[in-house]
Structure 1
Amino acid sequence: MQVPDVMTAIEISTPGGPDVLVPGKRPVPQPGPGELLVKVAAAGVNRPDVLQRRGAYPPPPGASDLPGLEVAGEVVAAGQGATHLIGTNVCALVAGGGYAEYAIAPAGTSLPVPEGLSMAEAAALPETLFTVWINLFERGFATEGEWALIHGGTSGIGTMAISLCKLFGVKAVVTCGGDDKCAAALKLGAAAAINYKTRDFVNEVRQLTGGAGVNVVLDMVGGDYIARNLAVLADDGRHVSIATQRGVTAEVSFLDIMRRRLTLTGSTLRPRTLAFKTLVAEELRATVWPFVESGQLRPVMDRTFPLREASAAHARMEGGDHVGKIVLTV
């Protein structure tokens, strides 16, 4: 395939609202050793993209300044050690640059797109799949038969967490911002869904678990939610933070943490090393990808937008009405 010298990409003209995302022209990047040049068919939209657009989440050193952390498409060129993938379709976790007609992806964080999975669906998988696997199942040690509380139940992260919990026998309790979203979460396989605007999730979770509490919390809210999350953790429970939408500080009782042997942890994915992400990709290929290949695991899709309408996609995400993943198509 003839690769052009110049491509269309979505640039952040200045930190601000969705309208600062504007199409521009960039040189097509060149793959280095172990890298793939992907002709992007679709790119996922994620909360970190919104934060980067606002100027609150700069890309790590060496990463593209273009937003976009996951892509799917055909490999049209490759660097040393990765040329065997030329001509294949992959979806990949990238550190940036996904909002473009071409993107560089590490071969180590790329997974094959199986038959029956659309490119838009494939692009909706890597960021949420890596994030949920690392945090809920590795850091949070969620195991079969346990209870997990997941906030943002109809977000991309939340819907992926529900799907993985269902596959691995974990009972997912989710919070959502409306009765319609709660209904959607239950339809996806959540064990229970709580409208946090009308009900106190602390009381609801205690009733659901017979007072025992949940074994793990996956939290993207932070702030005043932290103490409430700890209140619903069972003894030896694990609290995993992945975002701080309501603030980065919280007041908690360490005596309570000691007495009940609670674990507080968390992580961010984008700054992690390529070696770490490659190891996670290998785990996903062995443990989760068979469910993708069989059709048992599919991302929950909200809407797709053409690449040039990235600003509309961001407005959709910030509006909070979406259920599942928002994806840009090229």
Structure 2
Amino acid sequence: MKAIVITHPGGPEVLQIQDRPKPLPKAGEVLIKVEAAGVNRPDVAQRKGNYPPPAGASVDIPGLEVAGTIVELGADVRRWNIGDKICALVIGAGYAEYCAIPEGQCLPVPDNLTMVEAGSLPETFFTVWSNVFDRGNLQPGESLLLHGGSSGIGVTAIQMAKALGSTVYVTAGSDDKLRFCEKLGADHAINYKTENFKDAILKLTDNKGVDVILDMIGGDYTPDNIKCLANDGRLVQINSMKGKEVKLDLAEVMRKRLIITGSMLRSRDIEFKSAIARNLEEHIWPLLASGKIKPVIYKTFSAEHAAEAHRLMESSEHMGKIVISPLTP
């Protein structure tokens, strides 16, 4: 099969199309012919050599989400059949012509979506559900602050939180991105380049603060995150783009009874990811099928232009998801 391979750690140009052995599905796995693969920041980090893949994952073929058609079944697969169209969260090796996937991590492609749209869903939808609704325990009527509102994570979290009854605040770095987030449903969008998000949140909430913050920034954002959390608020960390070492006012954490948590999804076991898939299918997939939640695709690249897809991801100019399709050059 053809695969997009990290030939050595480095810039986007190190991504090259090479021939690799076609994977064989193990017991409990399905093999799909990949029709679309989403691009995510962990792919970029892996390409640079800054994100060693967990045990069992491909070292040099990135890709954490795919959509395609099942062409082969491993032993003991119970739900799926050859010819089914699915999208899935994978541990790696999504940038390839074929991909073997545990059946529990697969979800049906809604009839109203294209395969490119479906390929943009799993990584952000699994991440948002696990962190905002499971770890952050966001409830209807509560408020959510998202940093990076126009990112893939952001556009997913805005729509999911609004659909399930929450008030959504976002930060973004341009007026175009602010308007984009508001069109998706954000109640208030804050330009972090022209105003302090903490001051804006406290003003918007009459100094109460927000109930949950989903943060991928870390660094010097953390003290201000703490200040703009409400009593019993929850800070959920999913990345640390501005640094992993931070200063905290523990007295404020104790006084406001805050919960600080976070997670890394890629290294979690199949059972954990399969449970998220079941929750998504029950609570979110009907909203996709009805059009209440929609995939947001910024740009699609062919396999030959995977390097350009990574350059766009690193530029942060995109608003929504970046997808590689088709994977057969």
TM bucket by the smaller chain? over 0.9
The residue type paired with residue 125 of structure 2 is L
Q: Equivalent residue for 2:6?
A: 12
Structure 2 contact 37–95 (Cα < 8 Å) conserved = yes
Q: 1:94 aligns with which of 90, 94, 99?
A: 90
Q: Equivalent residue for 2:67?
A: 72
The residue type paired with residue 70 of structure 1 is E
Distance 1:300 1:45 in 2: 13
Query: Are residue 34 (structure 1) and residue 28 (structure 2) matched?
Result: yes
Q: TM-score, normalised by structure 1?
A: 0.97
Distance 2:52 2:306 in 1: 18
Q: 1:129 aligns with which of 119, 125, 129?
A: 125
> What are the equivalent positions in structure 2 for 1:258-273 lying under 5 Å apart?
258-273=254-269
The residue type paired with residue 252 of structure 2 is D
The residue type paired with residue 266 of structure 1 is G
Superposition deviation, residue 167 in structure 1: 0.5
Q: Equivalent residue for 2:178?
A: 182
The residue type paired with residue 75 of structure 1 is I
Q: Equivalent residue for 1:3?
A: none
The DSSP-based 3-state class of the residue aligned with 1:218 is: strand
The residue type paired with residue 165 of structure 1 is A
Q: For this pair of structures, how many residues does the alignment match?
A: 324
Query: Are residue 279 (structure 1) and residue 278 (structure 2) matched?
Result: no
The residue type paired with residue 304 of structure 2 is R
Distance 1:53 1:182 in 2: 30
Structure 2 contact 110–285 (Cα < 8 Å) conserved = no
Superposition deviation, residue 85 in structure 1: 2.1
Distance 2:136 2:242 in 1: 21
Q: 1:152 aligns with which of 134, 140, 148?
A: 148
Distance 1:85 1:48 in 2: 31
Q: Equivalent residue for 1:139?
A: 135
Superposition deviation, residue 82 in structure 1: 1.9
Structure 1 contact 38–103 (Cα < 8 Å) conserved = yes
Quick check: 280-289 or 235-244, which moved more? 280-289
Query: Are residue 112 (structure 1) and residue 108 (structure 2) matched?
Result: yes
Query: Are residue 45 (structure 1) and residue 32 (structure 2) matched?
Result: no
Distance 1:290 1:85 in 2: 22
Distance 1:261 1:114 in 2: 41
The DSSP-based 3-state class of the residue aligned with 2:274 is: helix
Give a deviation string over 1:189-211, Cα, whole Å, max 9, x none.
00100010011101100111111
The DSSP-based 3-state class of the residue aligned with 2:20 is: strand
The residue type paired with residue 272 of structure 2 is F
Q: 2:160 aligns with which of 159, 164, 168?
A: 164
Structure 2 contact 37–65 (Cα < 8 Å) conserved = yes
Structure 2 contact 209–229 (Cα < 8 Å) conserved = yes
Q: Equivalent residue for 1:247?
A: 243
Q: Percent identity?
A: 51
The residue type paired with residue 10 of structure 2 is G
Structure 2 contact 110–288 (Cα < 8 Å) conserved = yes
Superposition deviation, residue 297 in structure 1: 1.7
Quick check: 83-92 or 223-232, which moved more? 83-92
Give a deviation string over 1:259-286, Cα, whole Å, max 9, x none.
1100000001100011100111111111
Superposition deviation, residue 243 in structure 1: 0.3
Structure 1 contact 100–307 (Cα < 8 Å) conserved = no
Superposition deviation, residue 165 in structure 1: 1.1
Q: 1:323 aligns with which of 313, 319, 326?
A: 319
Query: Are residue 60 (structure 1) and residue 57 (structure 2) matched?
Result: no
The DSSP-based 3-state class of the residue aligned with 1:268 is: coil
Superposition deviation, residue 295 in structure 1: 2.2
Structure 2 segments unaligned to the other structure (5+ residues): none
The residue type paired with residue 182 of structure 1 is L
The residue type paired with residue 27 of structure 1 is P
Give a deviation string over 1:17-62, Cα, whole Å, max 9, x none.
1111111110110000111111000000001001100101111111
Q: TM-score, normalised by structure 2?
A: 0.97
